[in-house]
Structure 1
């Protein structure tokens, strides 16, 4: 999979990715609105070109309060994210080229006010999705918001994802309806975060194309 070319679908207003992005950006906007006064920390895992955060932050009143860590393995996508931040004059955006599954990348910014786990859960095994739910409690501060995505092709894992997150102390804020052709969720951490364990891999990024060929649920 060429993950740089894959992003072109964001430019089509009627595409699956474009419709999903609209829902994600609305959740980001509301999460930033709800942040208390002062610095705002944001983590984006498998950030791609940063369309989700960059589509909201330039015009948001909290833009200058935000320090964000975007981690993306594809150097071309990371370069695009940096350019988006530069063009918008966003000085608090740090784009790291690296394996987004490694907790090491988040050690100095977690727990964050907003955690974006978008484009991740459909590209890893179901077992890793459950593991990620537990790691989200290490990435997110108490009262912070987790925004996540997952397709709703059968067998639909979205209800189980909600259950795994809620077992970790997250409260559901919003979930896209089953009639949508995408799944977007927002959860708030109601409990205290767990300490971030360094040098751990939260998941193995397989790719939805590989998972589908293998007959799994990606």
Structure 2
């Protein structure tokens, strides 16, 4: 899979992925708006070219408060994300070339105030989705928001994923209507963060093409 070329789908304004990106960016904007004053920590897993955050932060009034880490394995996408962050003057945004499933990448930036899991759950197995949801209790500060995506092709796994979050101290704040094939959900963490388990790898990125999904 050419993951850099895959991002071209975002440039077709009426494509499901373009609509998903707009919804994610709206939720990122709302999360930054709602965050209390002071420094804000953001982590993005499998960040791609960073469009979820980099499409919002340059013009947001909280831009100087944000320290973010975007973790992405694909070298071309890492290069593009770094280029964009530098072009819009965001020194607080760090782009890391690495396996986003390794929790060590987030050790000095969690618990975070915003966790982005966009384009992840459609590319990993159901067991790994649940492990990643569990890992969010280590990544999130009290009151943090997780923004996550998942396609709603049959069998629709979005309700089950919501249940996994909600049995672990997360409250659902927002969910796209069920007729949106590419869904976006926001959960807010209301519990106490668990200690970060260094050395843990929480998922294997299989790819939607092998799983029969849509990313």
Same fold (TM over 0.5): yes
2:79 matches 1:88 = no
Shift of 1:7: 0.5
Preserved contact between residue 74 and residue 97 of structure 2 (Cα < 8 Å): yes
- Whether the 8 Å CA contact 2:71–2:98 is kept in 1: the answer is yes
Q: Which residue matches 2:206? A: 206
Tell me the equivalent position of 1:141.
141
Is the Cα contact below 8 Å between 1:43 and 1:116 reproduced in 2?
yes
Q: Structure 2 regions of 5+ residues with no counterpart?
A: none
SS in 2 for 1:71: strand
Q: Deviations over 1:150-207 (max 9, x none)?
A: 0000000000000000111000000111011211000000111111100100100000
Whether the 8 Å CA contact 2:103–2:200 is kept in 1: the answer is yes
Deviations 1:64-104 (A, max 9, x none): 10000000000110111111111110110110000000001
Shift in Å, 1:211? 1.1
For residues 100-136 of structure 1, give each alpha carbon's deviation from its aligned partner in whole angstroms, at most 9, with x where no partner exists: 0000100010110000000000000011111111001
In the other structure, the counterpart of 1:97 is 97
Size of the alignment, in residue pairs? 215
The two structures have a TM-score, normalised by structure 2, of 0.98
Aligned to 2:2: 2
1:142 and 1:29 map into 2 onto residues whose CA distance is 19
Q: Are the aligned partners of 1:155 and 1:217 in contact in 2 as well (CA < 8 Å)? A: no
Corresponding residue number in structure 2 for 1:156: 156
1:44 aligns to what? Answer: 44
Any idea what SS the aligned residue of 2:91 has?
Answer: coil
Q: What's the Cα RMSD here? A: 1.1
SS at match of 2:71: strand
Structure 1: 5+ residue stretches without partners? none
